Amino acid sequence: MSDAAIRNEAFASKLALTYAEFFDGVSPLRQRVSIRVNGDALELKNVETHAEHRWPLSTIRTLSDQASTEAMTFAPDDVNPARLIVREVGAMRAILNTDAPLRPLTGRRGGFVRLGVMATLAAACFGGLLFGLIPWFAETAAARIPQEAEVLLGQQQYGLTYGRQRQCSSPDGDAALRTMAARLTENADLHVPLTLRVVDLPHVNATALPGGQVTIWSGLLTAAERPEEVAAVLAHEIGHVAHRDPTRAQIRVMGSYGMIGLLFADTFGTATAAMVGQALDASYTRSAEADADAYSHQLLIEAGVSPDALGSLFARMEQQYGPSPDGLASLLSTHPAHADRIAASRDAAARADIGAGTPILSDVEWAALRGICTAAPAADGEGKG
Amino acid sequence: MSVIRTDFEGDRGALFLLALKTGALTLLTAGIYRFWAKTRLRRWYWSAVRPGGAPMEYTGTPLEKLSGFLFAIIVLAILLAATNFSAIMTSVNLLDEMPAVFTTIVAIIPLLTAPFFFYARYRARRYILARTHWRGIRFGMEPGAIGYAIRACFLMALTVLTGGLLWPLMTFRLERFLTDRTWYGNARFTQHGGFARLYGPLLPFLVTFWGGIALIGYFLAQIVTMENGVPQLPEYVSSRTETWPLWTGILSILLSVLCAFYYKVAAIGILASGKTLGDGIEFDLYPRTRRILKIYFFGFHKTWIASGLVQSAVAGLIFGALWLGGGFSQEAIQAMILNPPVNVAIVSSVLTFLLLRLVFGVFWHTFITYPLIAHLAETAEIHNPELLNGIRQRDADRRMDAGGFAEALDTGAAF
């Protein structure tokens, strides 16, 4: 090539030209364009029609997450559908060597405003439903549910919860339990009669289900040092019955069925949903527990039993098993911290000032109750454990 | 007559890394990143599919998906609460039958969600089409989700009630409903043909399914006796009873599942050949059932192997860390492996669960979605592409739930 040819400027600029594939965003026609950087813009010129497009370098976007590295696709800005597909190395270099920022294409702006509105609405909606409407509905429905329906609901729940456990029963033990309950409920105004059961389970626990179904776990009878401690727990469960807490909780569970799952449908599935559900449940019940405690103090005092029986039971359990969960774990706990409950029961005892009180069961009755699971089992015992 | 073919260009390793990175971020952000993950993976797949050498483009954004998802869960939460409340009220008022009624209602709820499922699918498809470009021109879809949901429920019921006899009617009508509302630029797609052509590929299913039912029925007819008009199963089956109808019947019904799969794949090709775009652009698609079954089989196989490796890796990591960093003796670690303490068991099972989800997603993309799309793309043909040049751009379709209903209901869309 002679020097004269290279000095020819028109020819030199032609040599510097590179080519790419262009779609103008109006028609799907494939256009071949020459590309040239001119000042602060990229000039695209159709090789047949000579139609020109100028893309300001500052707004040019690249497409990210592309599968093929053999071609690069560029857009003039975030909204224009026109595209430039560059395959030649020279053309790619021509664009990359400019000081164009080449930000990735993100689409139309303003998504954050809509997202903010939606997030607020969603929080309001879920908050309103889970902490407002559903608890309110549960409250109303629990107060109006016919007694028969409540008992049926409780029986169904009992079957689900304890259907596979051995139920303990002995004539003297049953009688002792009835005596204890009668002393406690003498002045209580319950909307359903109590159904008391003892099941053979080793943990220190008792539960109340809808329709006055109160179940004592045999572990409580073993752990209690005196009958008043059992009476304190029983009074607490009677408190739940009087406040219709189990019915309310059950209706709340039915009302929020599937709702947490919506939030975690795809990614975390049931595990996370169950955990959030548990935290939610716990937040509902902790205040109900405190109310049931207060109610039980009243029942115990009226029955002539000092409310600090609950405190002495819990204090012993803390010594044995360590303090109840604290901090983050307490969010998942359905009951208030043991320390608070112990203090509340001692306060109530101090205010009532009934000293040791009258024994709720005679020694013989207490022995019969403690032995209810070891005595000759009733006919329906399944002989487990 | 000219034809353009479709290339599939993309490195499987790059997809593996992208799926791994976005999957890990999804786990680390408690699921929030999934809208970004979905967007990025779609961008990747779209750009790998190149009809006539020009890549498809996905322009959806993560933010609009998150907004759409929030919108969808607001609507669904309100509907769900209303359904739950009415279920409770019904059950509470019907005293004696209450538990039964409640369980019945809970059992019916999935059926009640069926229309939403179809509604969500239509909306998701509309969103995806509105965010798909090719050669700088947008695809689009007309509104019609409610009409689609009603038709889909009705046709589904017909199909089930006729034991599959009217399945082609459902396949064809629903496909026509979708196709006739789909646009590329200002050109509309049209579904031609009728459902009769689909009976050919359905025949193996009908024969194996109904044949199996007939065989099992024949077997039952031998042994069942009538007592007071109520059929009774005998206490034992006589050794002289012919049992071959029972096991051939069961085999036949199992085989009918494969035949149903064959039908679905074949229907894709038949329906594709009945579509036109604009003034006469035509299509063909030749998916092969054997190839697709192979993809699923080997894809699952690899996924299972990887899952097994993940489980042992997690156990190894945890016990290794306890041994090296926890100051436990080798004997103590051995005892722990045999009988892990609660804390260790919880940590390792949560870790295993999360990692399994991650590995499953990554392998699914790499070894199932990737080859499936590659196979479909490579068998696609577009006839009379010169007619494309008469097509013009359409307006952008912005206001949408961005597939949020499908996301919230987890309709199991492929992407």
Tell me the HSE value of A6 on the side-chain side, using a 13 A CA sphere.
Answer: 3
A97 and A182 belong to one structural domain: no
For A28, which of B50, B137, B407 is closest by C-beta distance? Answer: B137
B146 neighbors B122 (Cβ within 8 angstroms): no
A197 and A345 belong to one structural domain: yes
pLDDT in tens, B184-201: 999 999 999 999 999 999
Q: How many CB atoms lie within 10 A of CB A18?
A: 18
**B114 CB near a chain A CB, below 8 Å?**
no
What amino acid is encoded at A220 in this protein? L
Domain of A38?
Answer: 3-104
Residue A121 maps to a domain? no
Q: Which residues of A touch B106 (CB under 8 A)?
A: 257
Residue A92 maps to a domain? yes
What ipTM did this prediction achieve? Answer: 0.82
Number of folded domains in chain A? 2
A100 and A137 belong to one structural domain: no
When scoring A140, A266, A268, A272 by the number of chain B Cβ atoms within 10 A, the one with the most, hence best to mutate, is A266
Residue A115 maps to a domain? no
Q: How many CB atoms lie within 10 A of CB A196?
A: 18
| Contacts made by residues B174-179, CB under 8 angstroms, sequence distance 24+ | B174/B148, B175/B271, B177/B144, B177/B147, B177/B148, B177/B151, B178/B122, B178/B125, B178/B141, B178/B148, B179/B271, B179/B275
Strand order through the sheet with A41-46: A52-56, A41-46, A31-38, A18-23, A83-86, A72-75, A61-62, A103-104
Residue A265 maps to a domain? yes
A99 and A145 belong to one structural domain: no
Chain A residue whose CA is closest to B94: A149
**B43 CB near a chain A CB, below 8 Å?**
yes
Q: Which residues touch A55 (CB under 8 Å, ≥6 apart)? A: A41, A42, A44, A74, A76, A84
Q: A272 vs A21, which has greater pLDDT?
A: A21
Query: What tens-digit pLDDT sequence spans chain B (415 residues)?
Result: 689 999 999 999 999 999 999 999 988 887 889 899 999 999 999 999 999 989 999 999 999 899 989 998 898 888 888 888 877 777 665 444 555 555 566 666 667 778 888 999 999 999 999 999 999 999 999 999 999 999 999 999 999 999 999 999 999 999 999 999 999 999 999 999 999 999 999 999 999 999 999 999 988 888 877 777 777 777 776 777 778 888 999 999 999 999 999 999 999 999 999 999 998 899 999 999 999 999 999 999 998 899 888 888 888 888 788 777 777 777 777 777 777 777 777 777 778 888 888 898 899 999 999 999 999 999 999 999 999 999 999 988 877 777 888 887 766 544 5
Q: What percent of chain A has pLDDT over 70?
A: 83
> Using CA atoms, how far apart are residues B68 and B399, in angstroms rounded to an integer?
10
A223 and A344 belong to one structural domain: yes
Q: Which residues of A touch B407 (CB under 8 A)?
A: 265-266
Domain boundary among A86, A104, A122: A104
* DSSP three-state, residue B245: helix
Q: A56 vs B333, which has greater pLDDT?
A: A56
> Using CA atoms, how far apart are residues A352 and A301, in angstroms rounded to an integer?
7
> Using CA atoms, how far apart are residues B202 and B209, in angstroms rounded to an integer?
11
B282 neighbors B383 (Cβ within 8 angstroms): yes
**B97 CB near a chain A CB, below 8 Å?**
no
Look at A268 and B57 and tell me if their CB atoms are within 8 Å: no
Residue A20 maps to a domain? yes
Quote the pLDDT of residue B336: 73
Residue A328 binned pLDDT confidence (cut-offs 50, 70, 90): very low
Residue A109 maps to a domain? no
Please tell me the distance in Å from A209's CA to the nearest CA on chain B.
Answer: 15
pLDDT in tens, A243-280: 888 888 888 888 887 777 777 655 455 556 666 666 66
Residue A210 binned pLDDT confidence (cut-offs 50, 70, 90): confident
Please tell me the distance in Å from A149's CA to the nearest CA on chain B.
Answer: 5
Residue A283 has pLDDT above 50, yes or no: yes
A27 and A68 belong to one structural domain: yes
Q: How many CB atoms lie within 10 A of CB B173?
A: 18
Q: Which residues touch B325 (CB under 8 Å, ≥6 apart)? A: none
Domain boundary among A104, A123, A152: A104
A256 neighbors B84 (Cβ within 8 angstroms): yes
Residue B410's nearest CA partner among A259, A258, A273, A262 is A262
For B54, which of A30, A134, A266 is closest by C-beta distance? Answer: A30
A145 and A48 belong to one structural domain: no
A69 and A162 belong to one structural domain: no
A219 and A96 belong to one structural domain: no
Size of interface A-B (CB pairs under 8 A): 190
A138 and A49 belong to one structural domain: no
Look at A114 and B64 and tell me if their CB atoms are within 8 Å: yes
Look at B43 and A27 and tell me if their CB atoms are within 8 Å: no
Quote the pLDDT of residue B175: 96
When scoring A113, A121, A152 by the number of chain B Cβ atoms within 10 A, the one with the most, hence best to mutate, is A152
Residue A129's nearest CA partner among A282, A265, A274, A259 is A259
A11 and A87 belong to one structural domain: yes
CATH number of the domain at A88, please: 2.30.29.30
**B394 CB near a chain A CB, below 8 Å?**
no
Residue A124 maps to a domain? no
Residue A273 to residues A260, A343, B39, B157, B355: CA-CA distances in angstroms? 6, 34, 25, 32, 18
pLDDT in tens, A214-232: 999 988 888 888 888 888 8
| Averaged pLDDT score across all residues of chain A | 82
Residue A140 maps to a domain? yes
A97 and A150 belong to one structural domain: no
Domain boundary among A69, A104, A139: A104
Please tell me the distance in Å from B42's CA to the nearest CA on chain A.
Answer: 9
